Amino acid sequence: MEDAHKKGFLTEQALEEIRKEGEKKVEDLFPPAKEFEGLDEEVTKRWYDWDNKSWETGKCTVAIAKEQFAEGGMRVAHFMLVKNPGKEPERWVAKRQKEDPDDETVYDADVIMQAACQAIAKAFNARVGPADSVEFVDCHTIKTASGTWWACEPYLQGKYIKYNNNYGYVDKRARNTPQAFTHFSYEFTNKKMMVVDIQGVDDKYTDPQIHTADGQGFGMGNIGKKGMERFLKTHWCNSLCMYLGLEFCTPKILGVKRHHKHKDSGTHHRGSVSASDQVEFKLSDYLGDLEPKKGGATADDLALLGIDEKQFNAIVVIFRELDKDGSGYLDKEELYQIFQKAKVSENKTTEAEAFLQFISRMETKVNENGKVYFKDFLLCWTGND
């Protein structure tokens, strides 16, 4: 598949190919131990200490399968056993570059990138707690006695999913944790770095990519600010982003073009309306029941709101996460939690100010029973209140 960033956009065909590549039910393909007999060799292991910004070395015994089991555009992969005295062998994967296979700087870049992601994950986990914690697997290089270099990481068994990529693709299920982690990495590093290409089994990740503000370092996949902007254009902030107090960057709340429907003519108008029209017009009078479920709005409802079905479904997901008891409305306790989580940085950006305005509008929608129903939540979220 042609790289999406070379096309400049993601077609439906490209999205489907990414989904197929990014979600795989991985069978346990790791071969039995007997197939590694006679392949033991002592190698030099190198890993990067992120805290001390230094390389560490050691010796270990490994057995690398003779035949590759997978091949990508840049590397081939072999199964590998790591043998520790008195313990069961550990199942790992050894990867070797197809071009310049003995250029150690290429392998070093991947190891440093993984170490950087682990450091950011440590900060993320300290804030979200065990339930939403993430892990980037260990990564190191080995050099054999013959001078052959390999990049190594643990073998992951299970359902492998690519949650986002380096050019704005977001997995259709849009799970909170992976997307919130990417958003967190951007703000935690003061917008100098962003961790993308989040993929792996559950929340155990491997093979990430880092974008940097200056576009320097971390390999060819680092497309700098352009890659960062692509994520921010497709990312819908979720409840975990809110809990972390991240700047509100969901783009659809900003500058939404409304579709106004007038009582007299029944025609649709886009853009501004006169003062008299604004007094007379009440969008909620023209909307259906708008159930808080996917597909819970008609085409006419979506046109009036100025959003598409995908955007509506994303808002439904956020509402249902906030509606802890599934009642179909937000009660006083749930609203209190939202307001408590509505933190923004002191350096107020347009997005942050927009979120504050959203919270302020939400407060005006609380009825006499202390409830906010989905329709009012939706109107506030899309700027149509």
Cα 217 to Cα 37, 138, 168, 212, 293: the distances in Å are 40, 20, 20, 8, 43
Are 181 and 330 within one domain? no
Residues 304-323: tens digit of each pLDDT:
676 778 888 888 888 888 88
Q: Is 359 a domain residue?
A: yes
Residue 133 has pLDDT above 90, yes or no: yes
User: What's the confidence (pLDDT) of residue 223?
Assistant: 93
Least confident of 77-81, 107-111, 113-117, 347-351: 347-351
Residues 137, 61, single domain; the answer is yes
249 and 312: one domain? Answer: no
Max CA distance (Å), the chain: 87
Residues β-bridged to residue 159? 25
Residue 28 counted as domain residue: no
Predicted local confidence at residue 279, as pLDDT:
31
**121: alpha, beta or left, given left = phi > 0 and alpha = psi -120 to 50?**
alpha
Give Cα 33 to chain centroid, integer Å: 36
Choose the final residue of a domain: 220, 254, 288.
254
Three-class SS of residue 225? helix
In which residue are the tokens 């974008």 written?
211
Q: How far apart are CA 246 and CA 181, in angstroms?
A: 11
The SS3 assignment for 183 reads helix
Residues 6 or more apart in contact with residue 194 via CB below 8 angstroms: 182, 185, 186, 210, 211, 227, 228, 231
**Residue range 258-276: average pLDDT?**
30
Same domain membership, residue 335 and residue 245: no
| Domain assignment of residue 76, yes or no | yes
Mean per-residue pLDDT for 331-356? Answer: 57
Q: What is the DSSP letter of 221?
A: T
**13 inside domain:** no
| Tokens standing for residue 246 | 């991240």
Give the pLDDT score at 46.
96
Residue 260 within a domain = no
% of the chain with per-residue pLDDT over 70: 71
CATH number for the domain that contains residue 320 = 1.10.238.10
Kindly state whether residue 233 falls inside one of the protein's structural domains. yes
**Contact 143/44 with Cβ under 8 angstroms?**
yes
Average per-residue pLDDT in the chain?
Answer: 78
Given this model, what pLDDT does residue 213 score? 96
Quick one: pLDDT at residue 29?
A: 84
44-53, 119-128, 154-163, 277-286: which has the minimum mean pLDDT?
A: 277-286
Choose among 241, 223, 225, 221: nearest CA to 233.
225
Contact 65, 166 (CB under 8 A): no
Residue 214 or residue 328, greater confidence: 214
pLDDT band at 259 (very low <50, low <70, confident <90, very high): very low
Q: Is the pLDDT of residue 354 over 60?
A: no
Q: Are residues 220 and 325 in the same domain?
A: no
- Cβ contacts of residue 15 below 8 Å, gap of 6+? 169
- Assess whether pLDDT exceeds 80 at residue 57: yes
Q: Determine the structural domain holding residue 332 and report its residue range.
A: 307-382
pLDDT > 70? residue 184: yes
51 and 127 share one domain: yes
Where residue 355 falls among pLDDT bands split at 50, 70, 90?
low
Residue whose C-alpha is closest to residue 385's, from 237, 238, 258: 258
Q: Which of 47-61, 64-78, 247-261 has the lowest mean pLDDT?
A: 247-261
Residue 372 near residue 329 (C-beta atoms within 8 A) = yes
Is 283 within the bounds of a domain?
A: no
Is residue 292 domain-resident?
Answer: no
